[in-house]
Structure 1
Amino acid sequence: MPGVVDFAEALTKAVDDSGLSLERIQHHLAARGMQVSLSTLSYWRRGRSRPERPESLKVVAALEELLHLDGGFLTDRLGDRRPRGRWVGQAMSLEDMWDSRATDLGEVISRIDRLQPTASTYLTVKDRQVIGPDRREVEMHCTGVVQALEDGVDRFLAIQLADAADLGVATIEAGAPCRLGRVRSEDATGFLVAEVLFDRVLRAGETALVDYTVRMRPGADSEVCDRRFLRPVGDYVLQIDFHPDAVPARCYRFARPSLHEPETALSDLWIGTTASTHIHVRNSKPGIYGVRWEWE
């Protein structure tokens, strides 16, 4: 394919030349033990996302064989892993925080035409999770201070993933001084991705207040709440408010550098007379910080 240098263009031409539909390509890949969605293949063709995870790169190698291309023809056109700004060295990847679900998340994000991580970071953030009398999540109220890492930042992306037992994807509302921009959700993957817009455009180093509430649709007892940070955060507070009629038997905190590593910093938490508990994390590295509890 003379003159073809872009991965998306090369893949599109190879698929067209093969005469195979994306459904047939998906079927052939599945026969080789590789599960990839039609939407992923479509986004790769259109250049709205591209393979970066090791599992995805194996699919690309299989596509080269399936489409009768020279080995490395598609892979070589991926180039280096896409940078996402000068701040990228400080950030974790989506794969670190969401593991195999990162591809699904990337596809939802791509429909907003902005890629994570955005050019901002939390200086402080507080999450307040409310658990109802039926032991199920009611809502998460999030407030914080966000600092721009580059000029021109006017929003960030809020991400929520439904549990496997949930009845549907969560909903989101913004509080003053924020407002919602584009919101995308998918029942198939369980992801909610929403733009939370600041009240002004920030220059590098400037800050904005954020306020939003996520309301869940739980289908089973809740047992864990966590926050996933792609970059360092100065101050993080996670408060869990249990209903007085639904107080767990045990509650403990945990931390996890990424989904590829085990939970650490396990310690019991006291549940106070108001049926509430919390964790406070200062100057934390990127990672997952949360609270687990047991009902019996």
Structure 2
Amino acid sequence: MPTHHPEAARLAEALASGPFSLALRLALKSSGLSLDRIQVRLRERDAAVSKTALSNWQSGRTQPERPDSLRALAVLEDIVGVPGGALSALLGPPRPRGRWLTQAPGDMRADQAWARPDGLARALERMGAGIDAVSRMAKVAIHIVGTVDQDQRLRTMRHQLVLRAEVDGVDRHTVAHRSDVPRTMEITDTVGCRLGRRRADAETGFTTFELLLDRPLRAGELVSVAYTMRTDAKEPYHSQRVGRATRVAGIQVRFSAGALPVRVYRTYLPSIGEPECDETEVALGASYTAQVTVADPAPGIYRLCWDWD
């Protein structure tokens, strides 16, 4: 394919350096085929993939991992006209096992919660922490309020958390955030904590940061903290990972009156490697706010999603 075209050059660059979601998105666009048409062609070659799965792969919500998904990806490479193995090479190594099996009683394992836990491990290592840092405190209650502006950018996410120390002497809450779209990120307006070290892994889009507590806690002790994440990402959803300790989890997103989405819905995944459950429509309220609130939620990944067209 000619690379003097800006779109072709972007595709070539993405195929060379990733991430997978961006390369797939550009390859689909370059093919000129709709998701419906691609679905038909995959089915004709006995490699059926749902439109939801295709959408999730190109948005970075999930990635193909199971043998049937990887076989379908090989067929998809041929359908969209990229070299064989070009997309699958961007998936990275299989989800790690072994050290990922360690977890605190109240939380999900890293390989259950994230598609690229290797990136999480690297970001934490750059912060002088191990993979267990993200599970030394369990989330008992989660309340998140986001705002999306008229440019369709997710501008702020206000996090209010009730945390439980899982070990004696814990003095910080380690937070992980991942995005496949370019964005800036600033942590402000902390309450009950202050911002500590922050590190990133550019290859996988991970950012990790510490919220330093006012004092060390005993195992089982509760504490409330709050902070605001300010960003400029053109994200089409917000994900929240919920562990076994969580008693209530709520996500609210308020949209600008001048740029309302055509559709808002929620989804749930037991873990990153599982097929996504059915989408459930979510109504916009009079204040242009959509929300999902769950009491005694099953562990997993809860998403509030929106479509612009």
TM-score range, shorter chain: 0.5 to 0.7
Question: Quick check: 1:257 aligned with 2:274?
Answer: no
**1:207-228: CA deviation from partner (whole Å, max 9, x where unpaired):** 111111112232x4x3211112
Q: 1:270 is matched with which residue?
A: 283
8 Å CA contact 2:166, 2:220 repeated in 1: yes
* Matched ranges for 1:126-141 at <5 A: 126-141=143-158
Q: 2:214 is matched with which residue?
A: 199
8 Å CA contact 1:161, 1:169 repeated in 2: no
**1:122-149: CA deviation from partner (whole Å, max 9, x where unpaired):** 1111111110011111111101110112
- Name which of 232, 245, 250 aligns with 1:237: 250
* Matched ranges for 1:8-27 at <5 A: none
**1:147-198: CA deviation from partner (whole Å, max 9, x where unpaired):** 112211111111111233x2x4422225122101111124443221000111
Q: 2:136 is matched with which residue?
A: 119
8 Å CA contact 1:230, 1:286 repeated in 2: yes
Closer/same/farther in 2, CA of residues 246 and 122 from structure 1, 3 Å limit: same
Question: Quick check: 1:281 aligned with 2:294?
Answer: yes
Question: Quick check: 1:181 aligned with 2:193?
Answer: no
Q: 2:36 is matched with which residue?
A: none
8 Å CA contact 1:258, 1:288 repeated in 2: yes
- In the superposition, the TM-score normalised over structure 1's length comes to 0.67
Q: What SS does the aligned partner of 2:177 have?
A: strand
CA-based RMSD: 2.6
Question: Quick check: 1:212 aligned with 2:216?
Answer: no
Q: 1:152 is matched with which residue?
A: 169
Shift of 1:230: 4.6
8 Å CA contact 2:240, 2:303 repeated in 1: yes
Gaps of 5+ in 2: 1-87
Task: Tell me the percent identity.
Answer: 29
8 Å CA contact 2:100, 2:110 repeated in 1: no
- In the superposition, the TM-score normalised over structure 2's length comes to 0.65
8 Å CA contact 2:180, 2:204 repeated in 1: no
- Name which of 92, 107, 110 aligns with 2:125: 110
Closer/same/farther in 2, CA of residues 125 and 133 from structure 1, 3 Å limit: same
Closer/same/farther in 2, CA of residues 82 and 140 from structure 1, 3 Å limit: closer
Paired residues, number = 221
Shift of 1:55: 5.6
Which structure's CA Rg is the greater one? Answer: 1
Q: 1:92 is matched with which residue?
A: 108
Gaps of 5+ in 1: 1-32, 38-52, 58-79
Q: What SS does the aligned partner of 1:264 have?
A: coil
**1:231-254: CA deviation from partner (whole Å, max 9, x where unpaired):** 441111100110111111211111
